[in-house]
Homo-oligomer: A and B are copies of this chain.
């Protein structure tokens, strides 16, 4: 598993928000309904994104969360860092502690290359590219009775 479930929810939510203009507040309730994610759980996740300046939020009527900047400038990297931290991009496959730059093992450089490809993908993939797909897969009208 590359990212946590929380992180997956965060990515889906921001991809969802990319369908709205930047700065347009959308209630978290709407997101949780449309994406079938627990409302209160999602609230906590999106709080991490507001704390990291990916989203902005507003309480009260007409409030919600909104993209803090242009959707095309928000990458998977930003979201993963905000929710899961940097382990995916800096961590060792072997999960050995205190390892890496100093006393690298014989395969470290190759591992760094492989991990770098994932890193590159995340840095160059913006949430806008996932918008349609997230909506499609969350569309529960297809499997309704």
Cβ–Cβ < 8 Å partners of A137 in chain B = 96-99
Number of this chain's copies in the assembly equals: 2
Q: How far is the CA of A91 from the CA of B8 in the complex (A)?
A: 12
Q: State which size class the interface on A falls in.
A: 35 or more
Q: Which residues of B contact A2 (CB under 8 A)?
A: 1-2, 88, 91, 93
B133 A93 Cβ-Cβ under 8 A: no
- Interface: A101 (CB within 8 A): no
Q: Can you sample 17 A-B contacts with CB below 8 Å?
A: A1-B1, A1-B91, A3-B95, A12-B94, A12-B96, A93-B121, A94-B130, A96-B133, A96-B137, A106-B133, A107-B125, A110-B125, A113-B117, A114-B117, A114-B118, A115-B118, A117-B118
